[in-house]
Structure 1
Amino acid sequence: MISLTPQDTQAVLLSIKVATAATLISLPFGFGVACIFSFTRIPGRAVFEGIVNLPLVLPPIVTGYLLLLVFGSSGVLGPFLEQFGITVVFTAKGAVIASAVVGFPLLVRSIRIGMDSIKEQYLQAARTLGAPWWDIVVSIIIPLSARAIIGGMTLMFARSLGEFGATIILAGNIPGVSQTIPLAIYDYTSTPGQDSMALVLCAVSISLSFFVLLVSEAGGSALKWR
């Protein structure tokens, strides 16, 4: 029977941590952007939407290289962050950032679908009664789009678990530091005679993703029947 090696276990745990961190960090920003797209008519919104959705159509390698230009030691933000002792390239932080950028459009699109289904009459009634914007968000928008929020978080988490291209460019493939499940599988497939270990990690990845989908469906069903 083939079991996970300590290095593989590290890769699995790191993947879960990276996916969780990327999803939670992106959630407030994704919610805010979805609100802007659904409830405002700002000038140039089409351009803004195109920028947000760009990671969906760009090759992940391109996304990773652009992030490297931003967070590298000679990049736009790299030298500034290094003044505070923050290093992004070839670290787990880089993996989180890469996963967040690649999965962010899925989060926004899912949440926006839920918000677009909210009837304008509910918002107008709340405004007529003098409810402040934060009360409208808490009492109307969040409850009525809760299933979409959960769905978006699920999609982003699953996408982060499978992120490869941008991660290997920005965070590298360092065991115990930035090596996630896809990167570990890549190592095994590049090594003769290690196909069985690659299949084990594939099975782990499939199981994790399927479990997340089950939890999402259960959460969505529970909200539906509340």
Structure 2
Amino acid sequence: MGFDISPAVVSIKTTFVATFITFFIGIAAAYWMTNYKGKFKVIIDIIFTLPLVLPPTVVGFFLLLIFGKNGPIGKLLLKFGTTIIFSWPATVIAACVIAFPLMYNTTKGAFEQIDNNIVSAARTLGVSEWRVFSEVILPLAWPGIAAGTVLSFARCLGEFGATLMVAGNIPQKTQTIPVAIYFAAESGEMDKALIWVILIVGISITVMLLMNYWSEHQRKFTSGFRRR
């Protein structure tokens, strides 16, 4: 029997989709919280950050309560004859929830470091809010956004606990590389586990090298622009 590469396919597909979703939701949430001045700011910020400090199995348990057959979303989905638990979308949801705080906090920090005078100057020129955001705020915050994206990608790739809770270990469907490593090691198939470990370490190192190269390129570009 040949080596099954499906965990790599599932992991890569899940990671890219979850990172894509987290990218936009994280930016939107970070920008909203940067400008939100309401009395619930601290509470909302804690909720957004909570998955970062909770054990992944606890996050997975909460997702089961929400998306399970007795949960609010689970009951709604059952009325349409479908369910999310123990399906591929569950791996994406678990990865998004676990990775979201990294994208949110990194991006929010980048937004908060932007000089408000620059933003105010753009607004006094009559520029629309969308153009201020897309042409002024986003470019200034882009290094932080890029860092948050890479961190989110790495977290999605390595997600295990919440994924196992809500998606299970279904070969060729929900079995990601971390899940495959766990069950291979548990069954004594250390050679197979080692192959997956080497692969996921290789992917992680490649992502970090690309991030460092991009950061260095951005630093050189910014330095050259400032000297003009």
Q: Shared topology, TM-score over 0.5?
A: yes
Shift of 1:85: 4.7
Report what 2:171 is aligned to: 175
Report what 1:205 is aligned to: 200
Please list, as runs of the form range in 1=range in 2, the aligned pairs for 1:131-170 lying within 5 A after superposition: 131-170=127-166
Whole-angstrom CA distance in 2 between matches of 1:49 and 1:218: 32
Q: Which runs of 5+ in 1 are unaligned?
A: none
Whole-angstrom CA distance in 2 between matches of 1:148 and 1:128: 26
Q: Does the Cα contact within 8 Å between 2:22 and 2:152 map onto a contact in 1?
A: no
Report what 1:214 is aligned to: 209
Report what 1:108 is aligned to: 104
Whole-angstrom CA distance in 2 between matches of 1:84 and 1:144: 44
Identity %: 35
Q: Does the Cα contact within 8 Å between 1:19 and 1:160 map onto a contact in 2?
A: yes
Report what 1:30 is aligned to: 26
Q: Does the Cα contact within 8 Å between 1:89 and 1:170 map onto a contact in 2?
A: yes
Structure 1 residues 97-143: Cα deviation after superposition (integer angstroms, max 9, x where no partner): 00100110000111112212210111110111122211111111111
Report what 1:48 is aligned to: 44
Moved over 4 A (4+): none
TM-score relative to the length of structure 2: 0.92
Please list, as runs of the form range in 1=range in 2, the aligned pairs for 1:87-102 lying within 5 A after superposition: 87-102=83-98
SS at match of 2:11: helix
Shift of 1:219: 2.6
Shift of 1:50: 0.2
- Write the letter of the residue equivalent to 1:63: V
SS at match of 2:121: helix
Report what 2:225 is aligned to: none
TM-score relative to the length of structure 1: 0.92
Structure 1 residues 173-225: Cα deviation after superposition (integer angstroms, max 9, x where no partner): 11101000010001111112x11211111110100111111222223333331
Q: Which runs of 5+ in 2 are unaligned?
A: 223-228
> In the alignment, is residue 120 of structure 1 matched against residue 116 of structure 2?
yes
- Write the letter of the residue equivalent to 1:94: A
Q: 1:86 to 1:211 in 2, by over 3 A?
A: farther
SS at match of 1:145: helix
- Write the letter of the residue equivalent to 1:218: Y
- Write the letter of the residue equivalent to 1:99: A
Report what 1:184 is aligned to: 180
Greater shift, 19-28 or 212-221, is seen at 212-221
Greater shift, 50-59 or 79-88, is seen at 79-88
SS at match of 2:31: helix
- Write the letter of the residue equivalent to 2:204: S
Q: 1:221 to 1:86 in 2, by over 3 A?
A: farther
Whole-angstrom CA distance in 2 between matches of 1:159 and 1:63: 14
SS at match of 1:109: helix
Residues paired across the two proteins, number: 220
Greater shift, 90-99 or 126-135, is seen at 126-135
Structure 1 residues 135-157: Cα deviation after superposition (integer angstroms, max 9, x where no partner): 11111111111111111111011
> In the alignment, is residue 17 of structure 1 matched against residue 13 of structure 2?
yes
Shift of 1:161: 0.9
